[in-house]
Amino acid sequence: MTLQTAGIHHITAFAGDPQANVDFYAGVLGLRLVKKTINFDAPDVYHLYFGSEQGDPGTIITFFPFPGARRGRIGGGQVGFTTYVIPVGAMDFWIERLKGFGMSFTRSERFGERYIQFKDNEGLQLELVEREQGPAATWSFGGVPADKAVKGFGGAVLYSVNPERTAYALEHVLGMERIGEFNGFVRFRASGELGNLIDLPMAAAPWGAGGAGTVHHIAWRAADFEQHELWRTQVSGSGFQPTPVVDRQYFNAVYFREEGGILFEIATDPPGFAVDEAAETLGGKLMLPAWFEERRAELENNLLPITVREVGGRTGDGV
Ligand code: ZN
């Protein structure tokens, strides 16, 4: 039996200044900062999570913001575009909003869908697409009403150094269905309603280089802890070398690199972001896992303060 992922769980990227990161993802895109914690593997850096009101799987983009970080180079072995889905009829609102922030964007079309593509403040490539699918957003912030708000990920465009092998991993390791080809892209579909459409250009991309404005890894959903063990077996049974299960506090994780160079993670839906703070106040306080709590004063002292705030659009201040 091949397990099938519901789609993207989260996408993790590098950024520079943490306040600029908050200003873009909360202030411009209107997402909720659902968790403010540290990089468990490098605790002098924040780990910031932005998503839907409750931080549902399929809506979460996370960042390691290193102040003063050098830019990376987007290329093979990375997520090329992170696709966000907005409600049908909301595109004009977003075009006006991006213009209001002085941001440039380009229009693109794939598989009969219209996209607008733009970059975040560090050059990370994002795109918006209208779809009926996916639960409506409930969060409203910074001039983005809930009925126009980002619902979560629509999917992603993967840049692979070996697209045939990446296609193999999507189909035979993650259990996605290959559903079409368009203009050099192959589209794969996962079983969920968000983060479920993955587009793979079949031309090999030259290797990218990590740094601010690039994606570090993409995580795929496992329904629960029991299924997560089976996922690990499925990954190793397919010839990959998954890491042991790692406790990431809000989910369990297993990592492996597919042969097109992209770092994949399998992450559990549970326990989610309300495991250590109330759903109403998610993201309000620096949260540390128990094993770092005794170092709180020192760790807090190392981090630049950040605030979720409205940022100027039309007036030209802010981003
Ligand atoms: Zn991850």
Q: 222 and 265 in contact (C-beta within 8 Å)?
A: no
Q: What local confidence, expressed as pLDDT, does residue 154 receive? A: 98
Q: What local confidence, expressed as pLDDT, does residue 318 receive? A: 43
Query: By percentage, how much of the chain surpasses pLDDT 70?
Result: 98
CA of 10 to the centre of ligand 1 (A): 6
CA of 258 to the centre of ligand 1 (A): 15
Q: How many CA atoms lie within 13 A of 52 on its CB side?
A: 26
Query: What residues are neighbours of ligand 1 (ion), with CB under 5 Å?
Result: 12, 219, 265
CA of 252 to the centre of ligand 1 (A): 9
**pLDDT (tens digit, 9 = 90+) per residue, 107-130?**
999 999 999 999 999 999 999 999
Rounded average pLDDT over 17-42: 97
Residue 4 has pLDDT above 50, yes or no: yes
Residue 169 has pLDDT above 70, yes or no: yes
**pLDDT (tens digit, 9 = 90+) per residue, 67-119?**
999 999 999 999 999 999 999 999 999 999 999 999 999 999 999 999 999 99
Q: Residue-wise over 63-83: b if at least 16 C-beta within 10 A, else e?
A: bbbbeebeebebbbbbbbbbb
Q: Which residues pair with 221 in a beta bridge?
A: 267
Rounded average pLDDT over 55-68: 97
CA of 193 to the centre of ligand 1 (A): 20
CA of 178 to the centre of ligand 1 (A): 24
Residue 2 has pLDDT above 90, yes or no: no
Count Cβ atoms below 10 Å from residue 280 Cβ, excluding itself.
Answer: 8
Structural domains in the chain, sorted by start = 8-302 (3.10.180.10)
Q: 25 and 223 in contact (C-beta within 8 Å)?
A: no
Rounded average pLDDT over 247-265: 97
Q: What local confidence, expressed as pLDDT, does residue 1 receive? A: 61
Query: Which pLDDT band holds residue 314 (cuts at 50, 70, 90)?
Result: low
Residue 161 has pLDDT above 90, yes or no: yes
Q: What local confidence, expressed as pLDDT, does residue 313 receive? A: 72
CA of 95 to the centre of ligand 1 (A): 30
Length of the chain: 319
Q: What local confidence, expressed as pLDDT, does residue 139 receive? A: 97
- Asked if the peptide bond before residue 271 counts as cis, ω within 30 degrees of 0, the response is yes
**pLDDT (tens digit, 9 = 90+) per residue, 183-219?**
999 999 999 999 999 999 999 999 999 999 999 999 9
Q: 65 and 49 in contact (C-beta within 8 Å)?
A: no
What is the pLDDT of the chain when averaged over all its residues?
96
CA of 286 to the centre of ligand 1 (A): 19
Q: What local confidence, expressed as pLDDT, does residue 316 receive? A: 45
Residue 317 has pLDDT above 60, yes or no: no
Q: 242 and 254 in contact (C-beta within 8 Å)?
A: yes
Question: Rounded distance, CA 29 to CA 51, Å?
Answer: 10
Q: Which tokens belong to 282? A: 């998610």
Nearest residue to 253 (alpha-carbon basis) of 216, 219, 292: 219
Residue 159 has pLDDT above 70, yes or no: yes
Query: Which pLDDT band holds residue 141 (cuts at 50, 70, 90)?
Result: very high
Rounded average pLDDT over 157-185: 98
Q: What local confidence, expressed as pLDDT, does residue 101 receive? A: 96
φ, ψ of residue 129 to 5 degrees: the values are: -140, 145
Rounded average pLDDT over 152-158: 98
Q: Where are the alpha helices (DSSP H) in the chain?
A: 18-22, 91-100, 163-168, 225-237, 290-293, 296-302
